[in-house]
Each structure stands twice: as C-alpha cells, then as structure tokens.
C-alpha cells in the first residue's frame, strides 16, 4: 500500500554528502521526515528516497549539519505532472483529446439491425433515419420508445422493435410479423369465373353449383361455379322454393392455349462512349462532406456519371465515413443495327417470362410451346403459342348478401 501511495504522490532520490552524513539522518528522525532505501556508497555519502513534499525542508536540514543535498531523480505522479506542466502544448492537446472523446462518445456512429430475415435492413434503416435515428445524431436525444412505436406503425411487416443504445452504437432489435391467413368472406355473394379459354379437365366445388363438367369447352368470362343454387321441394303446387345465394368456392383445372407476342426495332439508338474520362472525389462523415474537386458532381449533358461509394469497415462494423468516386464519361448517340439472332433470343426470353407470370396466379404448367419469328418492316416480331394446364377459376364478387332468397323476392311475382 505504501508503494502505491509513494508512486501516486511522488518521491525523490537524493544523495547527501558531508563529514557526518549520519547527523542528517538523525535530524530527519527528530523532525519525523520519512526516508527509505538507505545506501552508503562511501563513508561520507548516503543515498535515500524521500517524499517529494519534504524535499525543501530536507535541503534545510542538510545545510544545518554541514552537508550538501543533491536530487538524482524525481519520480511518481506528482513529479510527472510537474514535468508536463512546463509542456503546455502537450497538456492542451491531451485536454482537447479527452474532451473530444467525452463529447464524441455521446454521438451515434453505427446503427445496426438484428432479428430481420425477410424485411431488408435498408428499409428499416431508411424509416429510422426519417425519425432521426442515424449516424451523427446526439444519442441521449433519441426517444427510444416513441421512435420504435412510430416506426412499427410505418412498417406493418414488423411486430416488435426495440432500440438499444450502447455508447456510440445503436442496436435495433426487431421481430417480423407472421402472415395471417386470409379469411374467406362468406357474407358476400360470389361466382367462380373463367380467367381464360380452355377445356375443363377437373372441376371441384366446395360451395356453389358447377355449371360445366369435365371435357366441356369454356370461354373467358363464363361462370364456372355459380353462387346461386335453386331450391326445389316435393310440392306439385309450389315446387320452386327460391334460391340459396352463397360465396362460391372451388377449383377448375383446364387445358389452355396462350398466344403472346413481343416486338423489337431492328435499328436502335445506342450510346458510343469516348475514351476520355473525368473523375471527382468526395469524403464524408457525420453529415459533413469534403469535395476535393470543385463541382465534381456537376457534369454537362452528353455524359454518363458512375458513382461508387465505399464505407469504412473496421472491427466488423460499418462506420459513417465514406469515400466517393465519381467518374464522368462522354458519349454520342448513334443508330446501330440489332443482331437478329440476339434480338430473337431476347424476345423469346421476354415471352417466356410473361407466360410464367400469367401461370403463376393459377399455379399452372407449360405442356408445349411454339415460337414464330417474322420481320415487319424495321421491326422483329416473335409470337408464342403455348399449351398449358392451369387453374382458371377466379372469384368474382357481386352485390347483395348471402342467404335464402324467396321466390317472390327473386321473380317479383306471387307464388
């Protein structure tokens, strides 16, 4: 314990030389001035360690006994502070560094999102930035609970959000909402209508009355499963008992034939780039930007601008310090001929994508497809005829309510 006390408050290594240096030690004991690490280099010299605060008084005691006192070293915290006090530049810099660290540690440098799988982090960070949570903001000024609640209202894909601040790092913990099953509206009348022409292969009815059977040919827009079911009873005088109106449900699988077409001009305007380029650089952090070239982001017409931004990555985190390179390259517009083979391949790919999107709704499959290519003037035309199997039934609601409809209500005549 004494060792740490001496290091904190400082001590001095002194050498006392005289005819009788032991008299100096006796005076130190009489005046209760402590010393330690006693050494005798020779009969007239003694070396000891003393408290730095006693140094001036010990010089007086050495003079009273006819000895000379030399200070060989000053050590400890107080001694170091005395040395640094003469180097005001270093002390000022140290003070400024400590102040900068204490102040900058209150600002957000990193915003991290954890717990999301399907919702992109960029979407969450963009919403938080609108609410004031971004790198460079004063961390204690963030109303964590209020921001989290407001962000949840704007992001229905999330069911929970918590904003935690750890020094200069903000961790946003989220949980994604589970998709709720779509509830079937049984109170609204509806029919199942054909979405395309085809030949019915299989019709399954859960509610309603089927209007066709397997093998029938149907046209687009025809009612396949009706939501109106006529009711009859065993009464010769009054056999018709009205209609039962329901929300029709069911599936209708049919073979269909899809005809699609895409066009492409054989002559298209194309950019021809020049060899010379102009490059500009920008450095930014915490909302501050430094442009190394004046107006480096402003270019005349007839130029393409390619911007590449790289953020500083350190310690597994992305810091709000970025370096942006902007390359400007001039071009001229020239008419160029399209390779017919490449154009045909492109149009076929587009037709294939269109067909897949059409069949995606009905969970369909392609059985067979043919392509026809022709040239009309300066235009390349590719047509596709595809034989498919798909679910063509689509629910179409109609006004009214479900339930039993009396004959008088439906026909307007007395039974």
Evaluate if residue 346 carries a pLDDT over 80. Answer: yes
Supply the pLDDT for residue 287.
Answer: 65
Neighbour tally for 111: CB within 10 Å: 21
Name residues whose C-beta falls within 8 Å of residue 132's C-beta, 6 or more positions apart in sequence: 141, 142, 147
Range of lowest pLDDT (98-107, 322-331, 354-363): 98-107
Q: In what order do the strands lie in the sheet with 379-391?
A: 217-218, 198-207, 249-265, 379-391, 365-376
Domain ranges of the chain: 2-83, 110-176, 261-266+338-391, 268-337
Evaluate if residue 98 carries a pLDDT over 70. Answer: yes
Average pLDDT (216-225) is 92
pLDDT digits (tens, 9 = 90+) for 74-86: 877 665 666 655 6
The CATH architecture of the domain made up of 2-83 is: 2-Layer Sandwich (3.30)
The CATH architecture of the domain made up of 110-176 is: Roll (3.10)
Confidence of residue 200 (pLDDT cuts 50, 70, 90): very high
The pTM for the full model equals 0.49
Range of lowest pLDDT (41-50, 341-350, 406-415): 406-415
pLDDT digits (tens, 9 = 90+) for 138-185: 888 889 899 999 999 988 888 899 999 888 888 999 998 887 666 666
The per-residue pLDDT of the chain, averaged, comes to 82
Confidence of residue 368 (pLDDT cuts 50, 70, 90): very high
């Amino acid at each position: 314990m004494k060792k740490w006390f001496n290091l904190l408050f400082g001590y001095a290594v002194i050498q006392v030389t005289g005819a009788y240096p032991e008299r100096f030690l006796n005076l130190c004991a009489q005046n209760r001035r402590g010393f330690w690490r006693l050494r005798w280099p020779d009969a007239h010299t003694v070396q000891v360690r003393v408290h730095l605060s006693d140094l001036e008084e010990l010089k007086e005691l050495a003079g009273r006994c006819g000895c000379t006192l030399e200070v060989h070293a000053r050590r400890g915290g107080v001694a170091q502070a005395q040395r640094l006090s003469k180097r005001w530049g270093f002390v000022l810099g140290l003070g400024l560094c400590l102040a900068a660290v204490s102040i900058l540690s209150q600002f957000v440098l990193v915003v991290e999102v954890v717990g999301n799988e399907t919702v992109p982090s960029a979407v969450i960070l963009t919403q938080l930035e609108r609410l004031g949570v971004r790198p460079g903001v004063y961390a204690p000024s963030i109303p964590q609970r209020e921001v989290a609640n407001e962000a949840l209202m704007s992001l229905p894909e999330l069911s929970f959000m918590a904003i935690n601040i750890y020094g200069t790092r903000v961790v946003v913990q989220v949980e994604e909402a589970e998709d709720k099953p779509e509830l079937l509206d049984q109170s609204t009348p509806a029919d199942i209508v054909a979405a395309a022409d085809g030949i019915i292969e299989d019709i399954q009815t859960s509610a309603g009355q089927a209007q066709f059977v397997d093998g029938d040919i149907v046209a687009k827009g025809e009612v396949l499963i009706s939501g109106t079911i006529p009711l009859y009873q065993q009464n010769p005088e009054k056999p018709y008992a009205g209609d039962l109106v329901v929300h029709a449900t069911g599936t209708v699988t049919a073979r269909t034939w899809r005809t699609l077409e895409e066009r492409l001009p054989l002559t298209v305007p194309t950019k021809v780039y020049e060899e010379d380029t102009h490059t500009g650089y920008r450095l930014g952090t915490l909302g501050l930007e430094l442009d190394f070239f004046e107006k480096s982001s402003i270019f005349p017409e007839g130029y393409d601008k390619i911007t590449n931004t790289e953020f500083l990555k350190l310690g597994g985190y992305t810091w709000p310090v970025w370096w942006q390179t902007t390359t400007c390259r001039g071009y001229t517009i020239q008419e160029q001929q399209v390779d017919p083979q490449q154009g045909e391949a492109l149009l076929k790919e587009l037709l294939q994508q269109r067909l897949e999107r059409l069949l995606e709704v009905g969970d369909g499959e392609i059985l067979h497809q043919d392509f026809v290519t022709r040239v009309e003037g300066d235009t390349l035309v590719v047509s596709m005829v595809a034989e498919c199997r798909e679910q063509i039934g689509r629910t179409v609601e109609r006004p009214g309510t479900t339930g039993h409809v009396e004959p008088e209500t439906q026909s307007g005549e007395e039974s």
